[in-house]
Amino acid sequence: MEGLWRLLSRIKHYKKSFILSIISNILLSVFTVVSVPLLIPFFSILFDRVPAQPVMPSGRDFSEWLKYYMSDLILKFGKEEVLLWVCLSIVIVIFLKNLFRYSSLYFMAPLRFGIIYDLRKQMFNKFLELPLSFYSNERKGALMSSMTLDVQEVEWSILNVIEAIFKSPFIIVGSVFLMIYINAGLTLFVFILVIIAGLIIGKIVSTLKKESGEVQEMVANLSSHLEETIGGLRVIKGFNAEDYQKAKFEKENISFRNLLTKVVNRRDSASPASEFLGVSVVAVLLWYGSHLVFKNELQPDTFFAFVLAFYQVIEPAKSLASAYVSIQKGLAALDRIERIVETQNEIISKPDAIQKNTINDSIIFENVSFRYKDNTYNVLNHVSVNIAKGQIVALVGSSGAGKSTFVDLLPRFYDVTEGSIKIDNIDIRDISVTKLRELFGIVTQDAILFHDTIARNISFGGNYTAEEIKQAAIIANAHEFIEVLPEGYNTSIGDRGLKLSGGQRQRLTIARAVLRNPPILILDEATSALDSESERLVQDALHKLMKNRTSFVVAHRLTTIQQADIILVLENGAIVQSGKHHELLQLEGPYKKFVEMQSFA
């Protein structure tokens, strides 16, 4: 029941559609049940089983009273006219039954697709809200699978929940009462057979929830592998690793095929098994019911109505069984969705957060240590440094020394484990997250661009005029190559900007930072992947961008850092040297070795 309420709680924003769908399902159930006893007078008239003279019954037998009224109507209007009325009544009831069947689906549509909309919106917003630390332990393929397949599974489960609660039970209860009224003993006999058949079918589908969860997990694995393969095609082809990737995918694909075959075989076995058992039950019913007819304990027309009522029970009973399986699959999918949606974002603004718009004095690291989630060691160890407004700070060190982590802590992509970072003597955790990040312009080694036009990539996240975008591109040395493109600033650059060269992509990210006009810059190895000509253009753009700004530069090339006001040399997460380029060259230590090697990893 807890699981059902969890599913039904998704309906709260669509109460009107939900209520109208319930009413339609109830009316559908009523007319489905009513359509069966209407056949009794039809067969009574057709096979001439109505007494020629009406005799008022003394008891409360429904069939006797029905024959009395039918006999009276036939005397007044004739057999053919009464039969026509009965046929018209059947047509009207069947029309209303199907009208409410359609209306139940009509009112269900905005509810179903509205829930899909809500879930996907909620998940997408959560993806944007969650900190970077969340994604370090997650696979993209699994997240994409939750966004698509899991949401679809919840949609079907909710549809089946409503059918299981507000349609099938009404049809079953109404039909069973009709069967009991016709012959209670025969009804008991039939349902003993049905219970036995139901236990057999239930045994078949009992493991479907667990196996469905395994299927979803494997779909996530395949999606993740595909996403990695497409994203790394350059490396795969460069290392002739196509066969390796094929073998890896083949292994996962075979496992998925085998499991899916097992699940589908188990699911598909339920239908023929239920049909065989259902036909067996009906055969026994026909045999036993005919025996009662031969003994005159049951009228042929009422026995026929009993059989039809029993058939009315079979289909909704099967729907209830399949709904149970679907609900279990939906709950498993909902568990995966809620695990994401209910993940708490630890990096949020305080209720009384400070709305800071600029830097007036300095940025201070006070005894800062940082450890990634689930790691047992610190990436930064007791780092303390005071950076004055307008200074250019270069971060130097080998791979894994903590350079990127150092700059990632500034805009609160992660929160410090120990110590504090202050801007103008205000702890950044006391500043509004939105306002804090507005202080920064970020240019990374990987030029992050989107499948959109050049203009929209430069103006990403803000509203700027065409002239402002152009001026930013000019400063970033990007205007010249943009002008010669077929559609200029309206040129679509493809997925991740792959229609452009590496230098062109990087200059667009610099133009984006220029347009934002932030007081603080973070340049994370922004020129490391460029050729000499592209680097020259990008370096020129960066020098323009850094003018009169506080800048943090993570770099591995000497030309990038030798003009810095302060160079911080990191080893194992600690600052081991600091000073200007010429000062550090006078000292024996890691910086001098790096300069001599002309390589900063």
pLDDT at site 600: 45
- The residue type of 365 is F
Does residue 428 fall inside a structural domain?
no
Report the alpha-carbon distance of residue 331 to residue 410 in Å, rounded.
Answer: 40
Edge to edge, what strands does the sheet with 566-571 contain? 440-444, 520-524, 550-554, 392-397, 566-571, 574-579
Say whether both 72 and 168 belong to one domain: yes
- The residue type of 492 is S
Q: Which residue from 309, 350, 274, 369 is spatially nearest to 177, judged by alpha carbons?
A: 309
Say whether both 586 and 493 belong to one domain: yes
The DSSP call for residue 13 is G
Residue 396: strand pairing partners = 569
Say whether both 133 and 229 belong to one domain: yes
Report the alpha-carbon distance of residue 477 to residue 511 in Å, rounded.
Answer: 8
Q: Per-10-residue mean pLDDT for the chain, 601 residues long? A: 64 84 88 79 63 59 62 72 82 91 88 85 86 76 78 77 74 82 80 71 59 68 74 68 82 83 72 71 81 80 79 74 72 82 85 90 93 84 92 87 90 91 93 90 80 87 86 86 88 81 83 85 71 68 79 77 87 90 87 73 42
- The residue type of 462 is G
Say whether both 473 and 544 belong to one domain: yes
CATH of the domain at 549: 3.40.50.300
Number of H helices and number of E strands within the chain? Answer: 24, 10
The DSSP call for residue 354 is B
Burial 429-454 (b: 16+ CB within 10 A, else e): bbbbbeebebbbbbbbbebbbeeebb
Neighbours of 261 (CB within 10 A): 10
Does residue 576 fall inside a structural domain?
yes
Report the alpha-carbon distance of residue 146 to residue 165 in Å, rounded.
Answer: 27
Q: Write the secondary structure of 193-255 as one string of H (helix), E (strand) and C (coil).
A: HHHHHHHHHHHHHCCHHHHHHHHHHHHHHHHHHHHHHHHCHHHHHHCCCHHHHHHHHHHHHHH
pLDDT at site 365: 94
What is the pTM for the complete model shown?
Answer: 0.68
Does residue 230 fall inside a structural domain?
yes
Does residue 411 fall inside a structural domain?
no
Q: Judge contact between 112 and 152, C-beta under 8 A.
A: no
pLDDT at site 601: 42
Q: Which residue from 544, 588, 539, 586 is spatially nearest to 561, judged by alpha carbons?
A: 539
Which of 309, 324, 341 marks a domain boundary?
A: 341
Say whether both 304 and 450 belong to one domain: no
Alpha-carbon dihedral angle through residues 59, 63, 68, 73, given to the nearest 10 degrees:
150
Q: Which residue from 57, 89, 93 is spatially nearest to 72, judged by alpha carbons?
A: 57
pLDDT at site 54: 59
Say whether both 232 and 296 belong to one domain: yes
Please, which contacts does 148-152 make with residues 24 or more away whose CB atoms are closer than 8 Å? Answer: 149/216, 149/219, 149/333, 150/216, 150/333, 150/334, 150/336, 150/337, 151/116, 151/119, 151/120, 151/123, 151/333, 151/337, 152/116
Does residue 417 fall inside a structural domain?
no
Say whether both 451 and 330 belong to one domain: no
Say whether both 333 and 443 belong to one domain: no
Q: Is 28 exposed, middle or buried (0-12, 13-18, 19+ CB in 10 A)?
A: buried
pLDDT at site 235: 64
Q: Judge contact between 421 and 409, C-beta under 8 A.
A: yes
Report the alpha-carbon distance of residue 387 to residue 552 in Å, rounded.
Answer: 10
CATH of the domain at 128: 1.20.1560.10
Does residue 361 fall inside a structural domain?
no
| 3-class SS of residue 568 | strand
**Measured CA distances, 325 to 201, 209, 219, 296, 330 (Å):** 12, 7, 19, 43, 9
Say whether both 137 and 208 belong to one domain: yes
pLDDT at site 399: 80
Say whether both 20 and 83 belong to one domain: yes
Does residue 414 fall inside a structural domain?
no
Residue 569 lies in domain: 391-400+438-597
Report the alpha-carbon distance of residue 259 to residue 526 in Å, rounded.
Answer: 46
Number of domains in the chain: 2
pLDDT at site 381: 92
Q: Judge contact between 449 and 505, C-beta under 8 A.
A: yes
pLDDT at site 79: 73
Locate 497 and state its tokens.
């900007």
Residue found under tokens 């939750």: 146
| 3-class SS of residue 395 | strand
Say whether both 458 and 519 belong to one domain: yes
Neighbours of 187 (CB within 10 A): 20
Does residue 348 fall inside a structural domain?
no
Say whether both 318 and 243 belong to one domain: yes
Longest dimension (CA), the chain: 127
